[in-house]
Structure 1
Amino acid sequence: MITLRSAAKSTVVLIRPGATTFDEQGRMKGSLDMPMCERGREQAENLSKELAGIRLDAVYHAPCESAVETAACLVEGRSIRSKVIEGFRNIDHGLWHGKLIDEIRRNQPRLYRSGAEHPENVCPPGGESVHAAAMRVMKATQRVLKKSRNQVIALVIPDPLASLVAAQLNQEAMPDIWKVETDAGNWQLIEANC
């Protein structure tokens, strides 16, 4: 088994859950609680196989059903349990829940451009601003990292929130929220300061 360690940092395996029907359709699911579709279950199983050779000290996940299902695949056969982190709950898209991303691009072009150029300023009607969601998830992430110094941890977080975490941990600008809205059952390694 491969053990990934760094003397002064924790290693984060950032995982997007397997896809849901809304992901396949290009719809904004945000904080809606949806199960994975058949393709999403296959993605979660593939993730589990890909990561089988990496020793994980802990698995933390968002409270949504697709993240719960993906985390369950990851811990199967391991001597660890996954733990839900409420702060990893996806962005509340308010009145945009269920809308096609392309529909927003067509019907609200100025807002769509703003989301691409300045994602932190976007706040859907009746929802949560990207900035507020980023602050919430980073606070939760920092708490998890503090508890997990010098460990290898998996964070199962749906997009676009996962991309906000990746940008923060990599000290990069926030991504174009329209390009990171859907989950695809993938992962990335990030060395994170605790």
Structure 2
Amino acid sequence: MISLRAAARSRVILIRPGATSFDEQGRMKGSLDMPLCERGRQQVENLAEELAGIRLNAIYHAPCESAGETAAVLVEGRDLRPKMIEGFRNIDHGLWHGKLIDEIRRNQPRLYRSAAENPETICPPGGESMDEASNRVMKAINRILRKSRNQVIAFVIPDPMASLVAAHLNHEAMPGIWKVETDAGSWQLIDAAC
């Protein structure tokens, strides 16, 4: 087993769940609860193989079916139970749920450009702003990090929420929502201050 321990920090394996049918279609899934599609199940199997040599202390996941399914596969053969965290819920896209990203680009070009240039200010009709979602998820992340000093923990969070988490933990600017909305089946290692 590979040990990723580092002094006075937590190591976070940030995992995007496998794809859903909406990801494949280029639709905005947001906080809709959807299962993995066939490609998503294959992505999760690949993730499990890639992460098999990493000793994890805990796996936390978003309260959606694709994240739960992904976490369940990742704990197979490990002495861990995945823990669902309500604060990891994906961004509420309100009336944008289920819309094609290209449809928003065509029908609401000014709003589309604004979201690309200043994602933190965008609030879909009937949804939550990226800034509100970011505050919610980081409150949950910070609680976990305080309890997880010098541990290796995994967060299974769908995009675009996963990209918001990565930006905060890496002290980077908020990502463009349109570039990350349908990313799935990948992981990254982040050193996180506790």
3-state SS of paired residue (1:43): helix
AA of the residue aligned to 2:49: K
Aligned pair 1:38/2:30, yes or no?
no
3-state SS of paired residue (1:155): strand
Q: Deviations over 1:139-167 (max 9, x none)?
A: 01101111111100000000000000000
Aligned residue in 2 for 1:183: 183
Shift of 1:8: 1.3
Q: Within 5 A, what are the aligned runs for 1:17-166?
A: 17-166=17-166
CA distance in 2, matches of 1:177, 1:152: 28
Shift of 1:2: 0.3
Report the TM-score when normalising by structure 1.
Answer: 0.99
Cα RMSD (Å) of the superposition? Answer: 0.5
Identity of aligned residues (%): 79
Q: Which runs of 5+ in 2 are unaligned?
A: none
AA of the residue aligned to 1:29: K
Aligned residue in 1 for 2:12: 12
Shift of 1:184: 1.7
Shift of 1:183: 3.2
AA of the residue aligned to 1:179: K
3-state SS of paired residue (1:192): strand
CA distance in 2, matches of 1:92, 1:35: 17
Q: Which runs of 5+ in 1 are unaligned?
A: none
**Does the CA contact (< 8 Å) of 2:158 and 2:184 recur in 1?**
no
Aligned residue in 1 for 2:168: 168
Aligned pair 1:3/2:26, yes or no?
no
Report the TM-score when normalising by structure 2.
Answer: 0.99
CA distance in 1, matches of 2:147, 2:128: 28
AA of the residue aligned to 2:110: R
Q: Deviations over 1:85-126 (max 9, x none)?
A: 000000010000000001111111111111111000010000
Query: Deviation above 2 Å: which 4+ runs of structure 1?
Result: none
Count of residue pairs brought into register by the alignment: 194
AA of the residue aligned to 1:192: A
